[in-house]
Amino acid sequence: MTKTWRVGMVDHCRNCGRGGHGTHLAFAGLPGVELVAVADPDEGSRTAMQRETGAPRCYADWQELLAQERPDILCVCSRLPTQHLDVVTAAARTGCHIYCEKPLAVNLADADRMIAAAEASCVRLAVAHLGRYAPVFQAARDLIRRGGIGRPLTVFCRGKEDNRGGGEDMLVLGSHLLDLARFFCGDPQWVFGHVTTAGRDMVREDAHEPTEPVGRVAGDTVVALFGFADGVRGQFESRRDLHDGGETRMGITVVGSEATLAVRYDEARVLRLRRSRRPLEEGGAFEEIATPPPADPPGAKPLPVTRGVAGYFARNNRLAALDLMAAISEARDPLASGRDARWSLEMIHGVYASHLARRALALPLADRRHPLDP
């Protein structure tokens, strides 16, 4: 990749003070990259983003940034999907490639529009499902594909299960886990979901906006079963207020006929392997599998932080940026594409649609509306 990539960054008032995941810094410090401008309607947020990125210009209006700068790549940094559709489709129409925060969209119809806009203009749409780039999950996938756990049987996904447990947890945090389940096991074929609120079956009237506007959610307990090819099953579970601030509950576990692998979403996020055919519920000792991060490309500036959760975001945003530039040059999809992100939303909305229909449903869903809309 010998060209200079001109990159713009769009945020939205730092998501009303909730902060972000460092998406605006994904391309910072990479060789052959020029961070040209930032855009945000809020002056304080705009100034902070310009200072952190070192971009020479700033705009209050993202449309002006697109028109004046004509960037090669646009980072859509808001983690609120309500702020993605207009920016992504407009950028795609100008021929600008896109790196977008997740969740991608509020509903499947909006996701369809963004993907269609990108495909119509032959631009690449990458989404910040960072687990696909993380060495720990790359190693897990490689182990599964090499037969290191025998025949895959079941993938278990557990949300954070804090005060957002249930529907909000499934959308905000569970989306990462469901994306990884598909990364490991391929496309799900069907879903069967059960959602409860205060011990009773959820009804559509229970739907509400969560603590941040990421789309309607419902339920304080969610249990879902997914069917993958070759008899592989996936399970997602989230129950409210089980996380007490101590040991991390959120994570993913893949059970095979010969062994079990697991990763918890704690500070370390290490790959652990239990070499046993005994059922998972009987327990057993796990060993840690080392997964050192890949080296930066020649000429890249050191990351500002490498440890803990902040380091996880910084390192894997950089890997996602490198992959997007390579995908553009090689005329291929990025590792975490818009279509991949749509599948994650497909699985989440499938849980609600299945619960309301009281039966298993085929995936992808025929109805592209949000299943919790009135």
Please indicate, yes or no, whether residues 213 and 71 belong to a single structural domain of this protein: no
Domain of 47: which CATH number? 3.40.50.720
Evaluate the CA torsion angle 104, 110, 116, 118 in order and state its sign.
Answer: negative
- Looking at 84, 103, 123, which one is the last position of a domain? 123
Residues 101 and 146 in one domain: no
* Position 302 in a domain: no
The domain boundary residue, chosen from 81, 101, 123: 123
Residue 330, both tokens:
């090689």
| Predicted model pTM | 0.95
Q: With respect to residue 309, please indicate whether it lies within any of the assigned structural domains.
A: no
In a domain, 248, yes or no: yes
Compute the distance between CA of residue 232 and CA of residue 185 in angstroms, rounded to an integer: 8
Q: What is the pLDDT of residue 244?
A: 86
Are 261 and 184 in a shared domain? yes
**Residues 36, 169 within the same domain:** no
Domain of residue 79 covers 5-123
Query: Could you tell me if 117 and 241 lie in one domain?
Result: no
The confidence score (pLDDT) of residue 305 equals 83
Q: Digits of tens for pLDDT over the chain (374 positions)?
A: 468 999 999 998 776 656 678 999 999 999 999 999 999 999 999 999 999 999 999 999 999 999 999 999 999 999 889 999 999 999 999 999 999 999 999 999 999 999 999 999 999 999 999 999 999 999 999 999 999 999 999 999 999 999 999 999 999 999 999 999 999 999 999 999 999 999 999 999 999 988 888 889 999 999 999 999 999 999 999 999 999 888 999 999 999 999 999 999 998 899 999 999 999 999 899 999 999 888 899 999 998 888 888 889 999 999 999 999 999 999 999 999 999 999 999 999 999 999 999 999 999 999 999 999 98
Residue 51 within a domain? yes
Q: What pLDDT, on the 0 to 100 scale, is given for residue 258?
A: 97
| Other C-beta atoms lying within 10 Å of the C-beta of residue 115 | 21
Q: Count of domains in the chain?
A: 2
Same domain, 140 and 80: no
User: Domain check: are 59 and 185 in the same one?
Assistant: no
**273 and 167 within one domain:** yes
**In a domain? residue 102:** yes
pLDDT of amino acid 16: 63
Q: Are residues 360 and 233 in contact, defined by beta-carbon separation less than 8 angstroms?
A: no
Same domain for 119 and 143: no
pLDDT at 3: 80
Same domain? 147 vs 170: yes
Q: Assess if residue 109 is contained within a domain.
A: yes
**336 lies in a domain?**
no
Among the candidates 123, 147, 166, a domain finishes at: 123
CATH number of the domain at 242, please: 3.30.360.10
